[in-house]
Amino acid sequence: MNNSLEVLKSIYKPLKYTIKGKTTILQTTSGDFVVKERHNDIRSLYNYLQSRSFYNFPKLIDDSRKDLNVYEMIEDVPMPKEQKMDDLIDLVSMLHNKTSYHKEVTEDKYQEIYENIKNNIEYLRNVYNNYYDIYLPKKYLSPSEYTLMRNISKIFSSLEFCESEINEWFEVVKDEKKQRVSVVHNNLDVSHLIRNSDNYLISWDYAKVDTPIIDLVKLYKNEYFNYDFEPLLEKYFSRYPLNEEEKKLFFILIALPPEIKMLENEYQNTKQIREKLDYVFKTEELLRPYYSKNQEK
């Protein structure tokens, strides 16, 4: 990468360049450019998106090198974070709408999804059973251990919910031969939206064609603590309605409790346990109205 970057500097002759993580910004007399590592064929992806009338991405200036791409620099206009997330939901739902189609899948596609989630549930159950067995006999618990044990029943309840739901989901979809797919950004968080003359999605390095709920799951896991997701999901569902099986799978995937891995530092343990329990409680609160409505029917 360093050699290619030096070549680009000699070509663009920047007045100034700034390195931000894995991104380099070149400021030149002919404009500003963003240099990023190349992970996939962005040109083909952009061509496909344009063919579907989706243009909300930075212009690709130069992709002639194997390890780097050069993009136009789009200046981000400051705005309230809630408005930015609202715009992101609009843009992602438009992406899914414009690139959506039904794809034939092998007969074991849904079986694979089912088994992966079941295995994950069993793995997490073993992790938390192990913590329970270790901490229950202890007379004195550390703050992190006490916090976990006081709330561990909530984690087991989430696992039971996920297991019941995935079994129900599989009974409905196991004979399906098609799956609705779209282009998914696959790396969503609010920092990947830039607002200027229009809204733009950046960082397409991990984009692929798959079920659109992947974007919702990743966005929720990245941003759940910072936003009220109930109106955001309702907005997305109104623009790109998920069928009941898609919605159920999405709810299962976000309801899976995160794994807690104990560290050497007690403060860090307590902090991460509190954060992951917050995720469990906040997700349950998000899902409760949907399941309450279903039970009323």
* Residue bearing the bigger pLDDT, 127 or 26: 127
Closest CA to 249 of 159, 168, 158: 168
User: Residue 253: which CATH number?
Assistant: 3.90.1200
Helix (H) or strand (E) holding 179: strand 178-184
Can you list the positions of beta strands (E) in 40-153?
60-62, 68-72, 101-104
Q: Is residue 87 part of a domain?
A: no
pLDDT (0 to 100) of residue 227? 95
The rounded distance, in Å, linking the Cα atoms of 1 and 162 is 44
Q: Is residue 193 part of a domain?
A: yes
Judgement on whether residues 215 and 261 belong to the same structural domain of the protein? yes
78, exposed or middle or buried, with CB in 10 Å at 0-12, 13-18, 19+? exposed
Q: How confident is the model at residue 3 (pLDDT cuts 50, 70, 90)?
A: low
Judgement on whether residues 39 and 179 belong to the same structural domain of the protein? no
Judgement on whether residues 165 and 273 belong to the same structural domain of the protein? yes
Q: pLDDT tens digits for 161-190?
A: 999 999 999 999 999 999 999 999 999 999
Q: Is residue 83 part of a domain?
A: no
Q: Is residue 43 part of a domain?
A: yes
Judgement on whether residues 116 and 197 belong to the same structural domain of the protein? yes
In percent, the amount of the chain with pLDDT more than 90 equals 76
Q: pLDDT tens digits for 190-223?
A: 999 999 889 999 999 999 999 999 999 999 999 9
Judgement on whether residues 104 and 245 belong to the same structural domain of the protein? yes
Instruction: Give residue 14's domain range.
Output: 2-73
Left if phi > 0, otherwise alpha if psi is -120 to 50, otherwise beta: which for 227?
beta
Name the pairing type of β-strands 193-195 and 199-201. antiparallel
Judgement on whether residues 133 and 55 belong to the same structural domain of the protein? no
Which of these three, 58, 73, 88, is where a domain ends? 73
Q: How confident is the model at residue 12 (pLDDT cuts 50, 70, 90)?
A: confident
Judgement on whether residues 35 and 143 belong to the same structural domain of the protein? no
Q: Which two tokens stand for residue 212?
A: 């659109």
For residue 30, what are the contacts with CB-CB under 8 A and spacing of at least 6?
Answer: 12
DSSP state of 227: S
Judgement on whether residues 268 and 216 belong to the same structural domain of the protein? yes
pLDDT (0 to 100) of residue 17? 80
Q: Is residue 269 part of a domain?
A: yes
Q: How confident is the model at residue 91 (pLDDT cuts 50, 70, 90)?
A: very high
Q: Is residue 147 part of a domain?
A: yes
Q: How many domains does the chain fold into?
A: 2
- Give the relative orientation of helices 244-255 and 109-135 as an angle to the nearest 10 degrees: 30
pTM strictly above 0.85: yes
The rounded distance, in Å, linking the Cα atoms of 42 and 48 is 10
pLDDT (0 to 100) of residue 296? 52
Which of these three, 34, 58, 73, is where a domain ends? 73
Which of these three, 41, 73, 105, is where a domain ends? 73
Closest CA to 203 of 213, 216, 194: 194
Judgement on whether residues 150 and 291 belong to the same structural domain of the protein? yes
User: Residue 19: which CATH number?
Assistant: 3.30.200.20
DSSP state of 155: H
